[in-house]
Amino acid sequence: MKLSAHTFRVEWELHAWAGVVISLWIFVVFYCGIFSLFRRELAIWQQPELYAEADTPPSWERTRQVLREAGQLRGDAYVSMVPYAASRFVATYVRDGGPTRMAWVDPVAGTVVPERSRLAHELYHLHHVQQLPGGETTTGIVAVFLLVTLLTGVVIHLKDLPAQLVRMRLTLKPRFAMSDVHKVLGLFGLPFTTLMAWSGAVLVLGGTYGKVLGTVLGDAPKLEQLMGDTTLKRPRTGEAAAALDLDTLVARAQATLESTAAPTYLQYYNAGDSSAFVRLTFAGAPFTGDRVVFVDAVSGEVMRPVTPPYAQVANGLHDFHYARYGGLTARLA
């Protein structure tokens, strides 16, 4: 297919300027994306005292008890816990009105180890450029520009693609030699970069798109239900109530899922209140996303919120985007 001179010039300008605008941002995102794939491994590597493997899954209630004994958890504070397969330590995050405090807890030895390095954490968030105001949304927009760059590049070179796939004239002047390298590597990486840009844009901009469209159309509640995440809005009642221990709540969720797998993430809301509940995340099958279960912390009743369609799509895309479908081999590739 041969383009007209005008169409070719438009496509070329669009391809060139889109590439120039996003080049630095894309470099940061892709470079830090490599480290984000190994975030958990880096978190253990950067803090050697965490090298202690567990024989059994961690006791969630014991982890919370250790935090309390160390004076790092008030009765009504929000707390989340993340176990690490390569360590018996559990990452804990406590928020009680101020900044979130992170600490590593060994529920076996009953010790608390303060966070010494934030390298893995910062590299992960730098992949989304979350350190800058509006950085994550901008990253999603940049992903759209990347898709435009890729599409226009294919249109420009469509008639020459078979030849460019194997043409490497490294003996020419650097300008032409590097042009051949750029084209060959670009073609081989085209499926990967296209899918990464597309999935990244959907993950980041899906919720924003729903909010903007809802504001314009005046249909925000319905769109929020379609485009939101699996959440449960349950305000405090002001009535004190005794709650079941966390291990019992986890067991209730596991019974509902008919699984003995340990949660990958636990969040405890409204502690000490009659409205207290936990949000438990369990790893799902590849491309299906995580399974989320809410359990009433007082009664132990398992609650089943509706998962919005966007959350179902985003959960599957998240597994794909972070190469969670093929183990270490897929991440290294």
For 71, 120, 147, 191, 281, the CA distances from 206, given in Å and listed in that order, are: 40, 26, 16, 22, 21
Q: Strand, coil or helix: what is 170?
A: coil
If phi over 0 gives left and psi between -120 and 50 gives alpha, with beta otherwise, what is residue 198? Answer: alpha
**Residues 62, 92 contacting (CB under 8 angstroms):** no
The pLDDT value recorded for residue 114 is 87
Q: In the prediction, which pLDDT does 89 show?
A: 92
Q: Which of 258, 262, 254 is nearest to 293 (CA)?
A: 254
Question: Of 235, 232, 244, whose CA–CA distance to 300 is shortest?
Answer: 244
| Least reliable range by pLDDT among 132-146, 212-226, 259-273 | 212-226
pTM, entire model: 0.81
Q: Are 150 and 193 in contact, with CB atoms under 8 Å apart?
A: yes
Taking every pair of Cα atoms in the chain, the longest distance, rounded to a whole number of angstroms, is 79
In this structure, what DSSP letter does residue 88 have?
S
User: Cα(192)–Cα(33) distance, rounded to whole angstroms?
Assistant: 13
Q: How far apart are CA 333 and CA 317, in angstroms?
A: 18
Q: How many CA atoms lie within 13 A of 102 on its CB side?
A: 10
Q: Which residue has 């020419």 as its token pair?
A: 172
Residues 228, 254 contacting (CB under 8 angstroms): no
The predicted structure's pLDDT at residue 213: 67
Task: Compute CA distances 246 → 132, 169, 260, 261, whole Å.
Answer: 36, 64, 15, 15
Task: Considering only residues 101 and 287, tell me which one the structure prediction assigns the higher pLDDT.
Answer: 101
pLDDT digits (tens, 9 = 90+) for 2-51: 667 777 787 778 888 888 888 889 899 999 999 999 988 899 899 888 88
pLDDT tens, position by position, 62-82: 999 999 999 999 888 999 999
Assign 222 a pLDDT band (cuts: 50, 70, 90): low
- 71 Rama class: left (phi>0) / alpha (psi -120 to 50) / beta: left
